[in-house]
Structure 1
């Protein structure tokens, strides 16, 4: 089936020739904020062809070679998809292998954020990190930037001394005398002295770091990070990296990482990526986490001091199977990555912290993330509320939302409930991963496997309105069955704040709120915010004071009480809100954008929000800037 499929987000000719491996030889130039060097692409013919078409975005292509001969090339523009790099090669037959080297440098790469040292936590060294999902890898390396193509890679990367470099791969340390891993790296990567025909010399005052990723990955999982970093081990295979001033806090916060990883293995089989390390990025990182193999990227905004937001770690761990092993073939089937990962994340959290927590997070995902995104952010007829949207002519970032996460997870929950056999459904999930590990698939392949595995329950599967779930916009046709016990407790607290007298409010036991889980605290505040019975500003001030909300380190709780402040038009909170939204660049599905949207809509804050946004663009990640600019253009 995959032979007839396409990826509308890539202009590469991967149906004719595929990249199976690439070798990177790069120099990180912090002064010019660019990468420069070369990539050797190892190709295999799929159909007879005389050209290789690669995705690029804003790269400066200096030259290309095959067997030391110049390779002619041309560059063409493709709008939101960037450019194509077409290399004219000697005829390549089916199954034939060929290496091509491209000498290039980046220019304003959308995948990269260079952070001045003054903007880091410790202000010792500048910082660099990447974000290649969805189609930003093409801005840092010529590639077939589609999840339909998986390849291994090796890298030799140069940075100034004092800076530690990490990648989404196994580290072999520095290329220096006395490092026994250098010889191993050369052997593992089939290294020759002509690793690159234009192998970079090591600049004075620089170190070279060596890496290899032996597992085939799609281009969006290529990752690089460099800065003043320290490491703390969590277990033999898990560690956390961060700037020195933050590393101990991060080590405490993520102490349960090994427990989560082991629990995931119990559900879906052995972890296959060797290392599972975490790296804490600057606050401008646009996501809660990014599942880069061997090195999960996380935002510091989940370091709450009480391990209350570590479900993000469970989510990224789950991606090691659903996404990194079994991958969506193109971005129209993104739910196969994210819907499955949310479902597995909550399975992990339920195993560790109790099934009631899993049930509560399911209902919150439905009520507080999915329904508002469909009804308020997009509207019930919008293309991007479909589980399988049409992305023709779009940058996939434009479609990014909570829909593939929560609508996809809800479909799996409905299936689990209708099939009425949890152990068997969990076994199906493991068998599905085993069957398609290392492959990129579309929804129909998964659905066919589902019908094969539950052939005896075909009548149950046929009762699902598949077209409505997969292809229709708006709210799904079925609502999962939810356990409302914790929800009732949260609503009771919210109703007290809405209806009780001042004396009754004063008598409230603070412990009743403080002892709730993070997601339950958020639910209490969301119930207050979403109620038609709006509390007044004075009652809002009492909530903030009694629960010390403005002092919490939990960004999810902060976000929810800020929404109440905005709804009550609390002008005294405006400086606090503006500071919050600009001090962290986490898009967090729709939340960051929701705050910007509300600030732009309120006359009192509009001009200030726009002014502060413009002023802070140099600190913000390019992806965040792009999304906010797009939002502002609609206002």
Structure 2
């Protein structure tokens, strides 16, 4: 079946109306392949949501009311849905017939609602289906408190349509308000203005005055408490996790101030963080005003909070200036990684940020090797026609994008780069951006015809370009020396590892030959207690090494780790390592089948294919 295609990059910025040149003599069309909506002819301006969360039915139901602006001659509003049941529709308060197209596996069903020139308000009564990918319903046993159920949503990339009938494309922005009803002993939160305490009714009201795309719509409901960090930042978590999380995120307020000093004011009011139960599939999700994050970053020593710096940076890159389509994803994540590392450099020093750059370079190398050095999927500008947008959510967008910006900084100078980025964020606030448009802006306002960066090779070329910057590694050089000493026979207890951060330990383990001998594994474990570590980054790397070496003393803790952690960054490489041997395959399938209910539907799907 052919999919409907719409040029949705025009939704929020008039500058996107014109096609932009990729090279002289060619024109780059700006199409969002992943929405069935027609927001270019019937513009969704505001959403009023009134829904009930039913944990027994595992269903969200209610009414989505869209304020729309039809273009001249528009006769139908098209919206994205995925396995939603549409009960009825009204237009300007009058009942209206509607139709649903046949479903496609990737995009779902297009909802068609007749409208005319005076149509202002379209109300849709609906309920979610059994396979709503955005929703993870947790039993009490899957939470930390063990007493109450929990729900959270994950709408990126095209999963908002599984719980709201909407125009589900990153280039389509709207404001919203919501009324959400949950069981009276639970709290509801959204990516909006939020309550800071439980009420007696179970009815919560929300408002988001800044326009956002559908993938940044988020909802959570559970036994949740709040603790302030400062006047505009705070943390939400299950009560048993709250004070631990509050301690871990002590510097978040300072992070916001640091980010503002780099690239301008924070435009979203409050910045709060919600620590989710362990099954959350991502490190974090940059939902406006309320970052969702995994508890795996709570190590007790604040050593993994660069992830919060990353999600905070999205308040400028991604949330404020948004990629027009998923093919332009690097404009979201590449900028955010660069910004994150500038925040961490300002707070922790250049040698600390350099470790993050090096670990990121290693991730980029591994991704390029996995995808293939000549693969078009290693371009910054992606080709996702007739593919799922999640195919493009790789470290290429993150790390190749960030290193491209780092190179521009090195060539143009940091002062000019910072002036450019401040102007970029200010000039395109609450608008969308596509790749060719950005490159024109970059050349006009910064490069001015300078070819030293070789933009074409970075954006429309494969692999890692030859001029990719590699930062100096003062701290990792010391780690390399200690690793070499260990491999030469020095006992671990005599290694100089005092004051190492998570990043040094991770580099120490990543660069070990694989497999180590069982004796070497035992030596390291007895000295540094890697098997029992509470640091998730270190634990995952250690367990990968344990599988490779068949170091059985680590297996019980590894299984416990896999039963509790749902973050795909950790699950995928660990299950991949197990699948390399017959013994590992048997172990992987047993563990997956036993604990898969604890994983998010997205993780269940990808891991199910891996271990089959």
**Which of 121, 125, 149 lines up with 2:172 in the alignment?**
149
Once the two structures are superposed, the pairs formed by residues 81-96 of structure 1 within 5 Å of their partners are: 81-90=107-116, 92=117
Pair 506,85 (structure 1): closer, same or farther in 2 beyond 3 Å = closer
**1:1-16 equivalence runs, <5 A:** 2-3=16-17, 5-16=30-41
Is structure 2 residue 472 aligned with structure 1 residue 483?
A: yes
> So what's the TM-score if we normalise by structure 2?
0.92
User: Alignment partner for residue 246 of structure 1, among 233, 241, 244?
Assistant: 241
The aligned residue for residue 595 of structure 2 is: 616
CA spacing shift, 1:282–1:172, aligned 2, 3 Å: closer
Corresponding residue of 1:200: none
Once residues 175 and 19 of structure 1 are traced to their aligned partners in structure 2, the CA distance between those partners, rounded to angstroms, is 32
Q: 1:308 to 1:174 in 2, by over 3 A?
A: closer
What is the deviation of 1:307? 0.6
Please report how far the alpha carbon of residue 564 of structure 1 lies from its aligned counterpart in structure 2 after TM superposition.
1.8
How far apart, CA to CA, are the structure 1 residues paired with 2:492 and 2:86?
A: 68
- Structure 1 position 132 matched with structure 2 position 123: no
**Partner SS state of residue 44, structure 1:** strand
Q: Matched residue of 2:583: which SS?
A: helix
Show structure 1 runs of 4+ deviating over 6 A: 173-176
CA contact (8 A) 1:174 1:209 kept: no
Aligned partner of 1:515 in structure 2 is 499
2:534 maps to which residue?
553
Comparing 161-170 with 382-391, greater Cα deviation is found at 382-391
Taking the aligned partners of 2:481 and 2:95, their CA distance within structure 1 comes to 73
The alpha carbon displacement at 1:160 in A equals 0.9
* Equivalent pair of 1:529/1:567 in contact (CA under 8 Å): no
SS at match of 2:46: strand
How far apart are 1:261 and its partner, in Å?
Answer: 0.6
Q: CA deviation at 1:229?
A: 1.1
Q: How does 1:334-345 map to 2 (within 5 A)?
A: 334-345=329-340
Confirm or deny: 8 A CA contact 1:128 1:225 kept in the other structure.
Answer: yes
**CA deviation digits over 1:248-299, x for unaligned, max 9?**
0000000000011100000011111111111110100001111111111010
Q: Which residue matches 2:70?
A: 45
Q: Who is 1:169 aligned against? A: 192
Q: Which residue of 1 aligns with 2:444?
A: 452
Q: Distance in 2 between matches of 1:364 and 1:273?
A: 31
Describe the shift of the 1:404–1:451 C-alpha distance in structure 2 as closer, same or farther (beyond 3 A).
Answer: same
Selected match of 1:380 from 360, 373, 384: 373
Q: Deviation per CA, 1:567-603: give whole Å up to 9, x if none.
A: 2232443333233233211013xx4312111112221
- Alignment match of 2:522 (pick from 531, 541, 544): 541
Match of 1:525 among 497, 502, 509: 509
Going from structure 1 to structure 2, the CA distance change for 1:436 and 1:494 (only over 3 Å counts) comes to same
**Does the 8 Å CA contact 2:562/2:591 hold for their aligned counterparts?**
no
Shift of 1:550: 1.9
Q: How does 1:596-611 map to 2 (within 5 A)?
A: 596-611=575-590
Aligned pair 1:470/2:459, yes or no?
Answer: yes
Q: Does the CA contact (< 8 Å) of 2:492 and 2:524 recur in 1?
A: no
* Aligned counterparts of 1:440 and 1:364: Cα–Cα separation in 2: 30
The answer to whether the 8 A contact 2:532-2:557 is kept is no
Please state how far the C-alpha of 1:458 moved relative to its aligned partner: 2.4
Select which of 421, 427, 436 maps to 1:429. Answer: 421
Q: Which residue of 1 aligns with 2:122?
A: 100
User: Which residue of structure 1 lines up, in the alignment, with residue 390 of structure 2?
Assistant: 397
Give distance in 1, aligned partners of 2:476 and 2:445: 35
- d(CA) in 2 for partners of 1:319, 1:481: 24
How far apart are 1:551 and its partner, in Å?
2.4
The within-5 A match list for 1:564-579 is 564-579=545-560
Pairing 1:26–2:21 present: no
Deviation at 1:529, TM superposition (A): 4.2
The question of whether the paired residues in 1 share the 8 Å contact of 2:572 and 2:607 is answered with yes
* Counterpart for residue 235 of structure 1: 230
Aligned residues: 585
Unaligned runs of at least 5 residues, structure 1? 177-204
CA shift at 1:164, angstroms? 0.7
- CA RMSD across the alignment: 1.8
Q: Secondary structure at 1:14's aligned position in 2? A: coil
Per the alignment, residue 121 of structure 1 pairs with: 144
Q: Is the 8 A contact 2:585 2:611 kept in 1?
A: no
Measure the CA separation in 2 of the matches of 1:253 and 1:438. 31
Spell out, residue by residue over 1:109-145, the C-alpha distance to the aligned partner (whole angstroms, 9 max, x if none).
1101111112211112111100000100000000000
SS at 1:235's partner residue?
A: coil
What secondary structure, in the 3-state scheme, does the structure 2 residue paired with 1:49 have?
A: coil
Q: 1:275 to 1:446 in 2, by over 3 A?
A: same
Asked if structure 2 preserves the Cα contact closer than 8 Å seen for 1:155 and 1:210, the reply is yes
Contact 1:385 1:473 in 2 (8 A): yes
Q: 1:175 to 1:506 in 2, by over 3 A?
A: closer
Deviations 1:371-418 (A, max 9, x none): 01110x322233332212211122222332211100100100111111
For residues 563 and 611 of structure 1, the distance between their equivalents in structure 2, rounded to whole angstroms, comes to 17
Q: Which is worse superposed, 271-280 or 3-12? A: 3-12
TM-score, normalization by structure 1: 0.89
Alpha-carbon distance in structure 2 between the residues aligned to 1:445 and 1:307: 39
Q: Deviations over 1:538-569 (max 9, x none)?
A: 01111111112122211111112222222223
Q: Does 1:371 align with 2:365?
A: yes
- Conserved 8 A contact 2:361-2:399: yes
Q: Within 2, Cα distance between the matches of 1:600 and 1:145?
A: 36
CA 116–409 in structure 1, closer or farther in 2 if over 3 Å, else same: same
